[in-house]
Structure 1
Amino acid sequence: MSDWTHLIRLGELARGPIEVRLAPDEAVRAALAKELLLDSLPALVADLRVRPWLDGAEITGRFTATVGQICGISLDPFEQQLTGEIALQMVPAGSPNAYGESEGGELALDLESPDPPDVLESDEIDLAHILVEHLALEIDPFPRKPGAEFNYTPDTPEESPFAVLKALKKDGE
């Protein structure tokens, strides 16, 4: 993971919600592009709101990015705009609100309930790390430049194995 961080301590939320704008500089974006296997990352901006939630924090916001990728069909570089939403809750380790195991060591899953909160390893939340994770989920792993089409026709028609057998049968008649 890159060295870019933006830390907020849970204790800072006691004064109320915190509004944060993350906009990494060119050097950080270049490192992130390399890390995310992008051709380039010309723009990345996120507006986040961190507020107290139970004994942890809730992070909500939006981000926009311009990503440069290589088309998987034409091998031409191209750029595309991405937008994404961030909405997650986090609680400290040992919190009674953390998603735990039920009796017998099994996880109890309820597909209708909202996602459980993430459990923090310390009292710090790295907003930059959260942004990069969400950006990575929005990147198309099979990029296709707009208008690029895959048109493949084999040079010679393939002969089926049965056609070869039929030809042998005619020779042996």
Structure 2
Amino acid sequence: MKDLPFTDTVRINQIGAGLSRRLEPDADARKRIARSLDLQGLESFVAEIELAPTPTSSAWTLKGRVTAHAVQTCGLTLEPLPLDVDRRFSIQLVESAPQEAEEIEVTLDEDDVDPIEDGKIDLGQYAVEQLALSLDPFPRKAGAAFVQPDEPAEISPFAALKALKPGGDPGRG
């Protein structure tokens, strides 16, 4: 498993009737998060998270709000592009059952819930994931436009050699 930029793990047996956490990574953690998300900077990042069992099932509900001030890079001008994030989210979690080696069951509802593995939920990683979902995958500064450069008249690799050939010598070479 690759190193995660920020973690805050809770075991499901610690949840009880529910828990609330405020996650605010320190400067070093924000640098790791910025690096992992290809950001120029992450000046602030706060996640307010609530985790509670769902009353009618054996699932848990993870909901919260992520706020951040990040700096992306414009894909055209490479200039800094500040971004303020304020995202609310709600995710259903269910404990994954032990897998039988021979039998694989596929259900259509698997996209609706996230599995809980080893009885642990990484609140920090969910917060980073919500931040990542808030970022523009193709950041572009307002007014920046891509201009296609003119095609060279002759694309042949011999065009450069032709330019070096003396003008008065017609057939030698």
TM-score (norm 2): 0.72
Structure 2 match to 1:82: 85
Give ranges in structure 1 of 5+ residues lacking alignment.
159-173
Of 118, 126, 129, the match for 1:122:
118
Alpha carbons of structure 1 residues 4 and 106: separation in structure 2 relative to 1, 3 Å: closer
Q: Residues of 2 paired with 1:71 and 1:13: CA distance? A: 42
Match of 2:38 in 1: 37
What is the aligned counterpart of 1:55 among 58, 65, 74?
58
Aligned-residue offset at 1:41: 1.0
CA RMSD of aligned residues (A): 2.6
- Equivalent positions of 1:87-126 (< 5 A) are 87-94=90-97, 107-109=106-108, 115-126=111-122
Q: What CA distance in whole angstroms lies between the structure 1 residues aligned with 2:108 and 2:70?
A: 36
Question: What is the one-letter code of the residue matched to 2:106?
Answer: L
Please say if residues 10 and 56 of structure 1, whose CA atoms lie closer than 8 Å, have aligned partners that are also in contact.
Answer: no
**How many correspondences in the alignment?**
147
- Among 124, 145, 150, the alignment partner of 1:149 is 145
Post-superposition Cα deviations, 1:75-128, rounded to whole Å, max 9, x if no partner, equal: 211211122222111121218xxxx9xxx9673436xxx953221111111100
Provide the C-alpha distance between the structure 1 equivalents of 2:69 and 2:33, rounded to a whole number of angstroms: 12
Q: Which 5+ residue runs of structure 2 have no aligned equivalent? A: 155-173
Q: Distance in 1 between matches of 2:66 and 2:5?
A: 20
Distance 1:82 1:90, change over 3 A: same
Tell me the SS of whatever aligns to 1:82. Answer: strand
Quote how far apart the aligned CAs of 1:155 are. 7.8
Matches of 1:18 and 1:105, distance apart in 2: 33
Secondary structure of the residue aligned to 1:63 is strand
C-alpha contact (below 8 Å) 1:66/1:79 kept by paired residues: yes
Kindly state the Cα deviation for residue 143 of structure 1 after the two structures are TM-superposed. 0.7
Equivalent residue number for residue 140 of structure 1: 136
